[in-house]
Structure 1
Amino acid sequence: MHDPATHRDDTDFDFGVTALGSSFHGDWCLDVEHELDHVTNYLGPEGDPGGLVLLVEDLLRLRDSDLSGDELGLLWHATDPPLGGAPEIRGAERAWLDRLLSVVVPLARARGASEASCTTYLRCGPGATHPVVVEHRGLTAEVVELIGRLGQRAEGHSPLPRTREALVRCAETVCSELAFRFLLQAAGQYWSRLSPETYERLERLSAAFGHGPYVVSAIRYLVDEPHARP
């Protein structure tokens, strides 16, 4: 996500692929038979195309990246709700991203999104020169440092060290902003303990990425509040 001024309303809460992944609560299959039907229901039949364009951008960025299939799978499952529910994509990670695009792109186009917005995006890897991208790249080191602070108080879908490695690869080679959103999801999945100082850093970094006020507050419950002295 590299144009926060344009998409401000769509980024008040989590958005893009991280929000989609976390929407697969364990009971989604009670409403529909197929995971792509859930995607269609989740995205809804109408509305502004801005949020869909952000989702398309995430999906294209991941699909076209140098990340391995295993790394893509680790990132996808970092968004798993606490009781699980996200489709298992092992061995077909890029095919899964293409299947999602086959649903999301027509929806975005039907709502008025341009063809260019559904097929192109600002490159965010090393060597990118767009001013906004350069600004985001400047935040990569802090994202990586915060990934290193990711702890574990609950079982996750995958071993935490492997998830950390995939998050770092995403931050350094794909997009630091996207990796940041995956980090927030992973913190919730592993029930990672956050100090007030770490939470404040997450808030500042989120604001620097152009996010709205509720992207980070969704994991405020993980903060260890200081105990009042008697």
Structure 2
Amino acid sequence: MHAPVLHRDWVDDDFGVTALGSSYHNDWSRYTNDPIDHALSYLGPTGDPAFPILLIEDLRRLVFSPLSDEELGRLWGALGDPLGASPTFDGAERAWLHRLLEAVTRLAVKRGAREAQWAELPGCSPEPTDSVAAEHQRLIPEVLVMTGLLDRARDGDSGPALATRLAVEGCVTLVCPELGFRFLLHALDRFGCDLRMPDYTRLKNLSSAFGHGPFIVSAHRYLLG
């Protein structure tokens, strides 16, 4: 997310690919035909195109990133149902994200968006091309420090948590630190990582620096030990 002034009304709560990915609850397949159908149902057929545009921006950054399918799978898995009900793509994560991007793009155009709104995204990591991306880039070291919280994963989850930590760090440094930060928050949930108040405060401060509203981090407050 690189336009906090334009998107201020849409980033109080989670948004983009992290919001969509976490919406595949354990009963999603009872009400929709497939993962794309669920995504379109979640977004709705009408309304302001701002939310789909934010999703398109996230998806374009991921699809055209240097991250491997395995890394993309780790990021997607950080958003999902810990009981395993979320859709998985077995090494075809980039192809899945590309299909999702195409479907959401068609929806956004139907809702009045213009391709010019996402045709040329500002460069982010590792070479920012606008002032907002450059400011986000300045936050990378602090986000990378916070990925260490994944070392507090539940017993038995240390291996997957480490692999997810590496994927998040790749997203932060090679794709977008703001997007990587949102994946980190969900990964902390996914692996039941205990937070202490200083950790929570640092996460809140980082979120504010990225231009988020008040609920992006507070949704994870229950992790406070």
> When the two structures are superposed, what TM-score results if normalisation uses the length of structure 1?
0.93
Aligned-residue offset at 1:14:
0.4
Q: Which residue of 1 aligns with 2:47?
A: 47
Matched residues, number: 224
- For residues 116 and 51 of structure 1, the distance between their equivalents in structure 2, rounded to whole angstroms, comes to 16
- For residues 157 and 25 of structure 2, the distance between their equivalents in structure 1, rounded to whole angstroms, comes to 15
Q: Which residue of 2 aligns with 1:227?
A: none
Task: Find the residue that maps to 2:79 and give its secondary structure.
Answer: coil
Aligned-residue offset at 1:148:
1.2
The answer to whether residue 141 in structure 2 is matched with residue 137 in structure 1 is no
- For residues 155 and 212 of structure 1, the distance between their equivalents in structure 2, rounded to whole angstroms, comes to 34
- For residues 158 and 183 of structure 2, the distance between their equivalents in structure 1, rounded to whole angstroms, comes to 14
Task: Find the residue that maps to 2:45 and give its secondary structure.
Answer: coil
- Correspondence list, 1:203-222, <5 A: 203-222=204-223
Aligned-residue offset at 1:191:
0.8
% of aligned pairs identical?
Answer: 50
Q: CA RMSD in A?
A: 1.5
Unaligned runs of 5+ in 1: 225-230
Unaligned runs of 5+ in 2: none
Give, as a single letter, the amino acid of the residue that structure 2 aligns with 1:96.
W
Give, as a single letter, the amino acid of the residue that structure 1 aligns with 2:186.
Q
Q: Which residue of 2 aligns with 1:170?
A: 171
Q: Which residue of 1 aligns with 2:153?
A: 152
Aligned-residue offset at 1:62:
0.3
Aligned-residue offset at 1:34:
1.3
Aligned-residue offset at 1:58:
0.3
The answer to whether residue 89 in structure 2 is matched with residue 86 in structure 1 is no
Give, as a single letter, the amino acid of the residue that structure 2 aligns with 1:202.
L
Give, as a single letter, the amino acid of the residue that structure 2 aligns with 1:127.
E
- For residues 85 and 157 of structure 1, the distance between their equivalents in structure 2, rounded to whole angstroms, comes to 21
Query: What does the per-residue CA deviation read over 1:120-140, in whole Å, with 9 as the maximum and x for residues that have no partner?
Result: 311101222311111000000
Give, as a single letter, the amino acid of the residue that structure 2 aligns with 1:106.
R
Query: What does the per-residue CA deviation read over 1:116-174, in whole Å, with 9 as the maximum and x for residues that have no partner?
Result: 22433111012223111110000001100000122212666971110000011110111
Give, as a single letter, the amino acid of the residue that structure 1 aligns with 2:37.
D
Task: Find the residue that maps to 1:149 and give its secondary structure.
Answer: helix
Q: Which residue of 2 aligns with 1:119?
A: 119
Which structure shows the higher helix fraction? 2
Which 10-residue stretch deviates more, 123-132 or 100-109? Answer: 123-132
Aligned-residue offset at 1:84:
2.9
Give, as a single letter, the amino acid of the residue that structure 1 aligns with 2:23.
S
The answer to whether residue 176 in structure 2 is matched with residue 200 in structure 1 is no
- For residues 157 and 116 of structure 2, the distance between their equivalents in structure 1, rounded to whole angstroms, comes to 37
Contact 1:105-1:118 at 8 Å conserved across structures: no
Query: What does the per-residue CA deviation read over 1:37-77, in whole Å, with 9 as the maximum and x for residues that have no partner?
Result: 11111011111111110100000000111111110111011
Contact 1:154-1:190 at 8 Å conserved across structures: no
Aligned-residue offset at 1:178:
0.2
> When the two structures are superposed, what TM-score results if normalisation uses the length of structure 2?
0.95
- For residues 142 and 104 of structure 1, the distance between their equivalents in structure 2, rounded to whole angstroms, comes to 32
